[in-house]
Chain A
């Protein structure tokens, strides 16, 4: 087995629901509820799921942008939760984030050079000539002309802005990059440019990715392993080939069948899920998916299935408990 880079144990993140004059806590949104997974060095772990499944919360919790409610996040064997701010700041050099919206994630009052150099400035990693050299180098790495360094972000198209965001994430030579829907705001013809860029950078700099997306085709293309999330939990975590060849969890099956295929001749049988995703403020008892599951059994309504090994992969479903 590969060496693990990041290990997540029993991670939960609840957001309090506050109401009334005195901001009393009246309930909790269980955005992430008991996650366990490992990211291995050099791999791309994909996290897929629909809106509200907690995939973005997971990504932000890993980077300590959100303080986890409980659980531990071990980076190279060291638990990051509850570290003093200074030590955490030092660890941040190793893990960076690429954001979804290339417009909102770049400060409109900063030039491209300032944007890319921000991590260098924060960690006082380079200054003067070295800083300029690094900016030029990073721009070239992501396929932009280094003459652009003194232009403002708003002069660029969405795809180019996403390249700037990626250059910024690379500035400190990180080991882990959390990419939260990095291509979903881009035009179709631009998406593949960015996906290819991310893959090239991974090969070049031995990066590890946590790739969060709702688009299964994109996740499938870039990931080595994929975790499928539903309502705050991972329902299935497997190698991409196995997952797509034979999805085990009923939700994974439905999700895969729902993707419209760009082949008008492919008439596949589609599992159309009834109803909507339940509110994470009030998740159903037992298996979170049982309200929409076609294979729901009595036990699913009462007992929450744990993520357990089923033939080399992990599934959280009572259907596979007997095996």
Chain B
């Protein structure tokens, strides 16, 4: 068995707003093993981004319950100073829009060198050598020249490469990528995904990939958690997700995607709207949109239960199945 790198248990992150409490993340269990890529799939407001921010302890919300263990350390108990040591060194993050993550008044070099200097404590020339090496690693042509450029002079794809270079500069054990290719064109997305795959193989980094794109999940991930309304509704390995999804929401998502391979005239579609975060209800959160919903689904909230080896789903349809399997 591989070593656990990140483990979130019964995690709840709530936002306290003027209009009341918003349970953005409402009881999440996720484990990431070393060298593994785990995907979190969900739509807007599903809590997927807040989950990743909570792992970095960067969420503006409040963690009301649960634990985050990273590399044997209790993340939630660390001091802010210790946490700064973890961020960047052991855990790094890249975001959807690289332009907002790069400071426009500093050159790429200044930002990259700063990141290396803070975390690796190398000499001046070694720091620069490391920076150039990193830029070369992420496939940026003429890295020496690039150090002197300002972020706005770069294309979106190049900026995301720079972000990855900054994130990977200190050999983090875990890379959290929040929609890393959503703002990019397909051909550039292909470049970035390939780069992330290469880095994962060569550096042995674990990746937590947050995305709404099932295509990206299929290409990148080993294991997937599907989130809906702040909770995980299904978790399994990537093959199982696409071949035998159990939760009606997962099934619906997969069926409703137009693909290059299918030829049906009409697409399957999940009725209704994505629920805003915090709109809580009795029973299963997906039940108003679920075509298989029964009486119990509207009344009682289902638990995440094992439905197969390494496969769990939060659905009353499979709760009975799960019980039988145990007996």
Q: Which residues on A are within 8 Å of B, measured CB to CB? A: 50-51, 157-160, 187-193, 195-196, 199, 214, 216-218, 220-222, 244, 254-266, 270, 272-273, 275-277
Contact = CB atoms under 8 A, between A and B. Distances in A.
B260 A256 contact: yes
B190 A199 contact: no
Contacts of B189: 258, 260
Interface of B: 43-44, 141, 155-158, 185-191, 193-194, 212-219, 238-239, 242, 249, 252-254, 256-262, 265-271, 273-274, 276
Contact of A263 (B188, B190, B194, B218): B218
Contacts of B194: 270, 272
Given A214-B186, A264-B242, A190 B253 contact: no
A199 B276 CA distance: 28
Contacts of B274: 157-159, 187, 189-190
Nearest to A219: B258
Contact of A264 (B186, B238, B258): B238
B258 A217 contact: yes
B48 to A, nearest CB: 12
Contacts of B260: 216-217, 220, 244, 256, 259, 261
B152 to A, nearest CB: 14
Given A192-B258, A264-B239, 6 more contacts: A50-B187, A51-B156, A218-B258, A259-B215, A262-B218, A264-B238
Q: Which 10 A-B pairs have the closest CB atoms?
A: A260-B215, A221-B258, A50-B185, A192-B256, A258-B190, A192-B269, A187-B43, A192-B267, A157-B273, A189-B270
A218 B213 CA distance: 13
B269 A217 contact: no
A192 B155 CA distance: 31
Nearest to A187: B43
Contact of B256 (A160, A189, A255): A189
Contacts of B267: 192, 195-196, 221
Contacts of A190: 43, 273-274
Contacts of A259: 186, 215, 260
B103 to A, nearest CB: 22
A199 B268 CA distance: 13
Nearest to A194: B269
A189 B157 contact: no
B9 to A, nearest CB: 28
Contact of B257 (A257, A262, A265, A266): A262
Q: Which of A218, A260, A270 has the most C-beta atoms of chain B within 10 angstroms of its own C-beta?
A: A260
Given A196-B269, A221-B267, A255-B186, A262 B258 contact: no
Nearest to B181: A260
A270 B195 CA distance: 13
A264 B239 CA distance: 6
Contact of A260 (B216, B249, B252): B216
Contact of A276 (B43, B188, B256): B188
A158 B256 CA distance: 17
A191 B256 contact: yes
A273 B157 CA distance: 12
Contacts of B141: 275
Nearest to A217: B258
A272 B186 CA distance: 10
Contacts of A255: 186-187
Contacts of A214: 185-186
A261 B242 CA distance: 11
A272 B191 contact: yes
18 contacts: A51-B156, A157-B274, A187-B44, A188-B43, A188-B212, A189-B253, A190-B273, A216-B186, A218-B258, A258-B187, A259-B186, A260-B190, A260-B219, A261-B218, A261-B219, A264-B218, A265-B239, A266-B261
Given A188-B257, A262-B218, A254 B252 contact: no
Given A214-B186, A255-B186, A276 B155 contact: yes
Contacts of B186: 50, 214, 216, 255, 258-259
B193 A260 contact: yes
A46 to B, nearest CB: 12
Contacts of B44: 158, 187
Given A189-B274, A192-B258, A196-B267, A51 B238 contact: no
Nearest to B274: A187
